[in-house]
Amino acid sequence: MNRSLPSGSRSLIETILVVLLLLTLMLAVYDVLRVFFGVLTFALIFSVSFAGAFEWVVRRVRGRRTLAAVIYTVVLIALVALPITLIISALRHHVKEAIAWMNDIKTNGLPPLPAWISSLPLAGEDIKDFWQQLQNSPRETIATHGEPIRTALRHILTSGAGMVGTALQFIAGIVISAFLLVSGEKALAPVKAVTQHLLGRRDGLSLIQATTVAIKSVSIGVMGTAFIAAIISWLGLLIAGVHYAILLSALIFFLVLIQLGPLAVWVPLVIWTASQGHTGMTIFLIIYGVGLLIIDAFLKPLLIAKSGGKLPFLVLFLGVVGGLAAWGFTGMFKGAIILSVSYTLFDSWLEKRNSPAVTRTGGPTPQ
């Protein structure tokens, strides 16, 4: 005897199957697009951050958006490519110096350690002992410290590869953002339609506005801090009389932008000036570098707070710090967007929950 399921149960089972199918499809789409998330994140960041500047260029070229996109792409790629070119050039130069130094060591032995390194606080004595061990028994010392040396070299290579990979994502993001900016409002039309369909017109627009404010505030904080750090570095290098001040400042701009900080340039510069015997310049650069680090640490959250609009500073700050710890450079934007959107949705939900209560306590509803 055949027994068919009730229509209600059959409808529920079909709904569950459809939901499972949609979830499977969404997971498949995520797997396909996951490799492009970094580039798409940069494209979103650039298109939102430079929308005003792009429209200014459009007005200057009499409404020719394609020409404005070409100018925009060339200028931004040049700003990214210049520091990368400097890094590669410097690495090539230092590799040649390292090879020449190794050949000299094979011929003449390890030179004595400079006195200023031995007198360094905290680490000076340890470096001096390690150097003496290298002079007396180089093979045994290298064999003993082989693993830390390999770890340090691996870290240097990984950092360099990560920097180059980030620069390539920057360039791809700039190109994609140019297409988004040329489209203008048309590019946002599907996003607006989906959010308004799911959340309603008011909440959908609030969600898009919160996302835009989060991206703009973090962009202003990060890029503004990098720009100001580069200007301050350039002034300090000019005062100290360091050669290639503007090129080193451009490199500092890029390093601060990708959250590596100015120390990657400043510490080797201090070591070089100290090795050349410029004591006064070395002291000045150390003090100036400490001031630069303080500015880098405090200016970013200040700029983010000033440009956050109606979003609370704590929401943006926690999103930036948590996102940076979780996902690196792009995580600052992802974290700020996630917390800003969550805060907006939660605030809208609370407002909807409280509005009936206000109506009931405020008096009878008009008939």
- Long-range contacts from 320-325, C-beta under 8 angstroms, 24+ separation: 320/218, 320/221, 324/259
Enter the DSSP assignment of 328: S
**d(C-alpha 145, C-alpha 108), whole Å:** 23
Nearest in space to 320 (alpha carbons), one of 340, 347, 306, 291: 340
Q: Which of 1-5, 64-68, 75-79, 117-121 has the lowest mean pLDDT?
A: 1-5
Share of the chain above pLDDT 70, in %: 68
Q: Residue written as tokens 């390690």? A: 130
Give me the mean pLDDT over the 212-238 stretch.
82
Between 60 and 149, the more confident residue is: 60
Query: pLDDT grade, residue 119 (50/70/90)?
Result: low
**d(C-alpha 100, C-alpha 162), whole Å:** 27
**Are the C-beta atoms of 160 and 91 separated by less than 8 Å?**
yes
The pLDDT value recorded for residue 153 is 62
The pLDDT value recorded for residue 71 is 92
Which segment, 33-37, 118-122, 237-241, 353-357, is predicted with the most confidence on average? 237-241
Q: What is the pLDDT of residues 179-195, one digit of tens each?
A: 888 887 776 677 777 77
Q: Which two tokens stand for residue 181?
A: 């900016």
Between 108 and 262, the more confident residue is: 262
Torsion of CA 107, 112, 116, 117, to 10 degrees: 80
| DSSP strands (E only) in the chain | none
The pLDDT value recorded for residue 367 is 42
Enter the DSSP assignment of 258: T
**d(C-alpha 48, C-alpha 43), whole Å:** 9
Integer CA distances (angstroms), 34 to 20, 172, 183, 320, in order: 21, 15, 24, 21
**Are the C-beta atoms of 258 and 191 separated by less than 8 Å?**
no
**d(C-alpha 305, C-alpha 312), whole Å:** 8
Phi, psi of 325 (to 5 degrees): -70, -35
What size, in residues, is the chain? 367
Q: Which two tokens stand for residue 105?
A: 């060591």
The pLDDT value recorded for residue 359 is 45
Rg (CA), the chain: 28
**d(C-alpha 91, C-alpha 161), whole Å:** 13
Q: Which two tokens stand for residue 110?
A: 């390890």
The alpha carbon of 106 is separated from its chain's Cα centroid by a whole number of angstroms, namely: 43
**Cα 171–177–182 angle (5° rounding)?**
135
Q: Is 247 exposed, middle or buried (0-12, 13-18, 19+ CB in 10 A)?
A: middle
The pLDDT value recorded for residue 361 is 45
Nearest in space to 215 (alpha carbons), one of 322, 296, 316: 316
Integer CA distances (angstroms), 304 to 158, 213, 217, 356, in order: 30, 10, 5, 35
**Cα 165–170–175 angle (5° rounding)?**
130
Q: Is 321 exposed, middle or buried (0-12, 13-18, 19+ CB in 10 A)?
A: middle
Query: pLDDT grade, residue 342 (50/70/90)?
Result: confident
Confidence check: pLDDT of 56 > 50: yes
The pLDDT value recorded for residue 337 is 78
Between 196 and 335, the more confident residue is: 335
